[in-house]
Amino acid sequence: MNDYRKYLDPETIAKLGNIEMKARLVVEGFITGLHRSPYHGFSVEFAEHRQYRQGDEIRHIDWKVFARTNKYYVKQFEEETNLRSMIAVDASASMKYSSKGIISKFEYASYLAASLALLMIKQRDAVGLCTYDTDIKSFLPPNSKPSYISEILKTLETTSPANETGTANSLNLLAERIKRRGLVIIISDLFDNPESVLNGLKHFRHKKHEVIVFHTLDPREIDFNLGRAATFKDMETGEEIISQPYQMKISYQNAVKEFIDTIKKECRNHNIDYNLIDTSMPFDKALRDYLTKRKNI
């Protein structure tokens, strides 16, 4: 594995120090990967530059960037770069789940949220954070000051998943609290009534926000490869049952597929970006999905 790639691996990142170190190494690994990749969809200068367009003044061309990329970029003005974003992280008890050898969904969501926030601050965008379970637990309004990242990271690091899921209710409450249009990023397993969740997502669209959903699941929640016998525990109620997974596997996979397909289809119908993420995936997949959205806003 290339050195920069290891810092995009969830298991490697989980073994490192505090959440600030994790986020910085993920972002550095991601940016290094963009530089080395044949993928040319993004300016490596992010918010500080954009590609030259007909009509731009030649005096604004950055010739140092041209020397490195052989492409014409112009420096952007502050009003061209600023985007207001809110990251909403599901902190309900179901997010504690992790299968053997995989970090929990909440850990993954926290590291992803921290990395996204740091990347946004580097882009001079304003970013805020909301954590929720049945209700909103914490709310930090968007801010673009570099020092603000410390408050966001501290909130993520001190939050523990607990209580039942209330994604639909929390999303509706959050939609009412965000006063200015911007980008809303939801990181959740979406374990709630699908119709209610979709209504919560559509609430943001009704308020004219752009929306990205990172549907975050453990790999075993998708494929149900749990072996011949297993004890199933409800992370929110503590209730346990013992069953034979292979007997249930086909029915379970069909139910999960229907659940995912329903969310995905309705998101597409309402111009909401849907991304299925499993917690074994390197972080660059989600970060690239974000940049794709950021580029098109």
Separation CA 149–CA 276 (nearest Å) = 26
Runs of H (alpha helix) within the chain: 3-6, 10-14, 19-36, 63-69, 78-81, 105-122, 148-158, 167-177, 194-206, 219-223, 245-269, 284-296
Q: Between β-strands 210-217 and 183-188, what pairing exists: parallel, antiparallel or unpaired?
A: parallel
pLDDT in tens, 7-42: 899 999 999 989 999 999 999 999 888 766 544 444
CATH 3.40.50.410 in the chain is located at 82-296
Separation CA 123–CA 84 (nearest Å) = 11
Average pLDDT, rounded, for the chain: 86
Separation CA 16–CA 7 (nearest Å) = 10
| Residue among 122, 111, 37, 130 at smallest CA distance from 83 | 122
Q: What is the pLDDT of residue 35?
A: 67
Does residue 281 register a pLDDT over 80?
Answer: yes
Does residue 230 register a pLDDT over 60?
Answer: no
pLDDT in tens, 106-165: 999 999 999 999 999 988 899 999 999 999 999 999 999 999 999 999 999 999 999 888
CATH number for the domain formed by residue range(s) 82-296: 3.40.50.410
Which one has a higher pLDDT value, 292 or 218? 218
Rg of the chain over all Cα atoms, to the nearest angstrom: 20
Does residue 73 register a pLDDT over 90?
Answer: no
Exposed e or buried b for every residue in 103-122, given b needs 16+ CB within 10 A?
A: bbbbbbbbbbbbbbbbbbbe
Q: What is the pLDDT of residue 231?
A: 55
Percent of the chain with pLDDT strictly greater than 70: 84
Q: What is the pLDDT of residue 48?
A: 59
Separation CA 128–CA 185 (nearest Å) = 10
Q: What is the pLDDT of residue 104?
A: 97
- DSSP, res 249: H
Percent of the chain with pLDDT strictly greater than 90: 59
Does residue 271 register a pLDDT over 60?
Answer: yes
Residue with tokens 């991304």: 275
Does residue 77 register a pLDDT over 80?
Answer: no
In the numeric block, which tokens belong to residue 175? 């939609």
